[in-house]
Amino acid sequence: MSSVLEVRHLSKRFAGSRKTPAKEVLADVSFQVGEGEFVTLIGPSGSGKTTLFRMIGGLELPTEGDISIDGANAVGTRGHIAYMPQQASLMPWLTVSANIELSLTIAGIGKREARALARDWLARVGLEATAHQYPDVLSGGMQQRVSFLRALLSPQKLMCLDEPFSALDALTRQHMQAWLLSLWESNRRSVLFVTHSIEEALLLSDRILVLSAAPASIIREVRVPFPRPRSEALWGDAEFIRLKQELYDMLRPDPTL
């Protein structure tokens, strides 16, 4: 299987100053995301997931190690990923459609094509009524749908989703997971997903990488065995519950600390 993202022996230390001590955030992290594969990083908060994303996005340089995206070295270079942040991050002065078009044109798609894509897909996911509305009239869940669509339509091979549902209420979150699942399963892209939710990880992913607390390293890899297409019915599955318990035990804070 050819890998779209390959991270090799990545480490990151932030040099200290007089006031803050030096901090090691990532320690020798290696993994890859295959073509059309959904890989989830899960770990306690403060385990350097955001730093890892910033390095993959090219905003931060690793202290050691390599990142390659689609076969090309991507250390310190931007524009190789489609990105969905924690908060929807839509420009408040642009309509929903114009927001999508903006991201697509930044990714190098022509204006006319970007517009056609945005209109076409907004209609396809039942959001055509919002195309000419401004983001502030949309609910949080709707904004995240637009944000996901924007990432899905971007031409880059790798999609990075950074805790995209963490700001939503529990019910909306479940709806969003089901929505994303169905959309992704019919349009397979390579995804690197970060979450704190074990159920979310199990429902969506092909593989789950468990990160330790800082300095983060991968302590476990779980291959999620459920066949696709999946649905929320999985939540009652015995294997699902067993894996959930297993992951929960791994993520429990060290009692000796």
Residues that bind another protein (CB under 8 A): 53-54, 57-59, 78-83, 85, 87, 89, 91-95, 102-103, 106-107, 134-137, 154, 160
Q: What angle do CA 86, 110, 152 make, to 5 degrees?
A: 30
- CB distance 133 to 96 below 8 Å: yes
Look up residue 230 and give its amino acid.
R
Give the nearer residue to another protein in terms of CB position, either 132 or 228: 132
Angular region, 31: left φ>0, alpha ψ -120 to 50, beta rest: beta
Write down the least CB distance from residue 104 to another protein, Å. Answer: 10
What sections of the chain are H helices per DSSP?
49-57, 96-106, 111-124, 140-153, 170-186, 198-204, 238-251
Residues across the chain:
257
Write down the least CB distance from residue 253 to another protein, Å. Answer: 29
Write down the least CB distance from residue 79 to another protein, Å. Answer: 2
Write down the least CB distance from residue 78 to another protein, Å. Answer: 4
Supply φ then ψ for residue 207, to 5 degrees.
-135, 150
d(CA 67, CA 76) in angstroms, rounded, equals 9
Write down the least CB distance from residue 83 to another protein, Å. Answer: 4
Give the nearer residue to another protein in terms of CB position, either 61 or 137: 137
Give the nearer residue to another protein in terms of CB position, either 146 or 202: 146
Give the nearer residue to another protein in terms of CB position, either 105 or 197: 105
Give the nearer residue to another protein in terms of CB position, either 121 or 240: 121
